[in-house]
Amino acid sequence: MIDRFSHLLNSYTKEVDKSKKDKVLFTARKEVEINGNGTTGYVIKHGPNKDKVLQHISVKSTNNW
């Protein structure tokens, strides 16, 4: 049977390893270029639909008074 401190140490090391992996994945991802070249959405860069804007960003106004 694992004593209490060994269990706590094992769970802490697993948690630290998971947080390190999450940080590495977060920093390794590529950012999507939004508002590049004057567009207000995501532009497809490769394939048959190249240079098409997929979705425009629209912000709903909260100034409805």
- The yes-or-no verdict on residue 7 having pLDDT over 70 is yes
- Cα separation, 20 vs 12, in Å, equals 12
C-beta of residue 55 within 8 angstroms of C-beta of residue 42: yes
Residue 9: the pLDDT is 93
Average pLDDT over residues 6-12: 92
Q: Could you read off the pLDDT of 12-54 as tens digits, one per residue?
A: 999 999 999 999 998 888 776 666 666 567 778 888 988 887 7
Residue 28: the pLDDT is 86
Number of Cβ within a 10 Å radius of residue 47: 7
- The yes-or-no verdict on residue 61 having pLDDT over 80 is no
* Better pLDDT: 14 or 56: 14
